[in-house]
């Protein structure tokens, strides 16, 4: 971001430059901050100007715990298919407030892939026959894929079961709503959606189910 002046033929007295710093290690962030201050202040001094450098540290790095990341990957491989689990495209440079939790307790950040060749299921209602943009959330064309909701709901139940070592629902009581192959003959979830990888931010891809309605969990079993 660059802001200075109001008209094109007048040199402004003050200009503001802004941006973001993306890094994967705290030590790298510290180095970038130190070098930025020296470069900006030195460059301005060479031209008889002054500069004020203000750096706000918004989010620390996302550091997945290896044990928790592997647990997510194993659960996804069992219920979604091993071929749907990947660490491709990692690491990523996005800022994430979940990192604050990970710096206090072991955990894992992962993604459910939302790629879909055409609008179907719940997503079809707004634009029948249309095509999905499949862009990331920081894009004006982003459209959340509602077909992920039943898959995500079931996956979280299975993940809790795996971590606690119990079975709340059988597969018949709570089936994973996997979709049929898409029109191109492949799985509805496309390659490039990544899953949890030990020690680094990961993603667990999930195909898009042509859901007919909201998923309803059976009543919780009484445990003795």
Question: pLDDT by residue (tens digit) across 166-223?
Answer: 999 998 899 988 754 543 333 333 323 333 333 343 333 333 333 333 334 444 444 4
147-160 tens-digit pLDDT = 888 899 999 999 99
Exposure string over 68-83, b if 16+ CB within 10 A, otherwise e: bbbbbbebbeebbbee
pLDDT of residue 177: 82
Give the domain ranges of the chain.
2-46, 59-224
* Residue 31 pLDDT: 96
Nearest to 209 by CA among 102, 83, 121: 121
Contact call for residues 122 and 147 (beta carbons, < 8 A) = yes
178 vs 164: which has the higher pLDDT: 164
SS3 of residue 5 by DSSP:
coil
Q: What string of DSSP letters covers 119-158?
A: --GGGGTTSTT-------SSSTT----TTHHHHHHHHHHH
Quick check: 21 and 49 in contact, CB under 8 A? no
Which H helix or E strand runs over 15? strand 15-17
**CA 39, CA 188: separation in Å to the nearest integer?**
49
For the question of whether the overall pTM of this predicted structure is more than 0.85, the answer is: no
pLDDT value, residue 179: 58
Pair of tokens at residue 222? 């009484």
Highest mean pLDDT among 53-62, 123-132, 150-159: 150-159
């Amino acid at each position: 971001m660059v802001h200075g002046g109001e008209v094109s033929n007048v040199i402004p007295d003050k200009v503001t430059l802004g941006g973001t710093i993306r890094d994967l290690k705290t030590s790298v962030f510290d180095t970038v901050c130190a070098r930025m201050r020296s470069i900006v202040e030195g460059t301005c001094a060479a031209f008889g100007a002054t500069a004020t450098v203000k750096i706000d540290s918004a989010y620390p790095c996302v550091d997945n715990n290896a044990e928790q990341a592997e647990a997510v990957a194993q659960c996804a491989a069992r219920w979604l298919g091993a071929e749907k689990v990947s660490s491709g495209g990692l690491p990523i440079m996005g800022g994430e407030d979940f990192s604050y939790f990970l710096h206090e307790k072991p955990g894992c950040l992962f993604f459910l892939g939302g790629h879909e060749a055409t609008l179907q299921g719940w997503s079809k209602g707004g634009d029948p026959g249309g095509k999905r943009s499949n862009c990331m959330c920081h894009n004006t064309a982003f459209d959340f894929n509602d077909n992920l909701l039943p898959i995500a709901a079931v996956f979280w139940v299975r993940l809790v079961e795996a971590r606690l070592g119990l079975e709340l629902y059988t597969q018949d009581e709570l089936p994973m709503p996997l979709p049929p192959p898409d029109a191109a003959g492949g799985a509805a979830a496309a390659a490039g959606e990544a899953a949890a990888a030990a020690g680094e931010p990961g993603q667990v891809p999930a195909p898009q189910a042509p859901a007919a309605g909201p998923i309803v969990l059976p009543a919780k079993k009484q445990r003795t």
